Amino acid sequence: VPVFLFVAAPYIRRYVAGGRCKSTARLEGKVVIITGANTGIGKETARDLARRGKVIIACRDTAKAEAAASEIRAETGNQEVIAKKLDLADTKSIREFAERFLAEEKELHILINNAGVMLCPYSKTADGFEMQLGVNHLGHFLLTFLLLERLKQCAPARIVNVSSLAHHGGRIRFHDLHGEKSYNRGLAYCHSKLANVLFTRELARRLQGKFQRQEGFTANALHPGSVYSDLVRHSFVMTWMWKIFSFFLKTPCEGAQTSIYCAVAEELESVTGQYFSDCQPAYVSPRGRDDETAKKLWSVSCELLGIQWD
């Protein structure tokens, strides 16, 4: 068995790594925002895109964000890698980030909603939302709303939402959206990732006909794969499992490939409302294709955030 594993190891690793983004598209003169890009797949996405154009790393921890930006600037030689403060668990911070960005930057071409929390104990955001739904869905929903006009003005533009295969286990529990009646940290993560898929679907539907066809304004979601990162830090069991089975998990660089693909691949210029994995279309759960739930989630999200998004 050890001999077999030694011989098979390169093939196993190649299979685990999955698809790679082969596009060499340049982003000169274009601006990209990536949330949560100080670590994991977000940082690797920023590292790749910094070789192509201007990247803004938007993170809660400004010290870590600046350290990541500094590292990427040194490695790529691109001085236009900028760290900005953004706490997705606080709508005030989201609005301040958007206000500063719109005042300082005249263009925005790609928004990658990458940041996320996973398996955290029950807690609430500054605005009283269950943490995983609040950060993973509602925070990015508000950020996209606030930046949408700038994206429209700079079209062709792309919105990329990092979801997960975990959306298959999710459901939108409108009767207990914030887990106050019952809470399971694993299921709450699944619910939030389903919300990402439904948000993408409804956003693409609303953009279709208005902007997408003539300007290439798209919104797509993706599953990055099972990635060896600190996303599971809130679970002792998952942390140890990740260490034990790390050989069978993607590296952050491998996990970033589908995010990069959705952001730059030329063949996706007019593709919208889709869900990708390993740089190719992937199966969406029946709940992720429920248009009525998507419309209701949109309406409820607007109500919770106090915005009007028609």
Alpha-carbon distances, residue 264 vs 93, 111, 203, 218, 220 (angstroms):
28, 12, 19, 12, 12
H-type alpha helices, the chain? 2-17, 40-49, 62-76, 91-104, 131-133, 140-153, 185-207, 212-215, 236-244, 252-255, 257-264, 291-305
Torsional class of 221: left (φ above 0), alpha (ψ -120 to 50), beta (otherwise): beta
Apex 145 CA angle, 141 and 150, nearest 5: 135
Among residues 232, 230, 225, 275, the alpha carbon closest in space to that of 250 is found at 225
Tokens of 19: 């698809």
Contact 255, 190 (CB under 8 A): no
Kindly report the number of other CB atoms within 10 A of residue 106's CB atom. 10
d(CA 108, CA 119): 32
Contact 56, 32 (CB under 8 A): yes
Alpha-carbon distances, residue 198 vs 11, 136, 191, 256, 271 (angstroms):
35, 13, 11, 22, 16
Alpha-carbon distances, residue 6 vs 12, 92, 228 (angstroms):
10, 53, 21
Tokens of 305: 């955030």
Catalytic residue among 11, 15, 183, 189: 189
Annotated catalytic, 189?
A: yes
Catalytic sites, residue numbers? 189
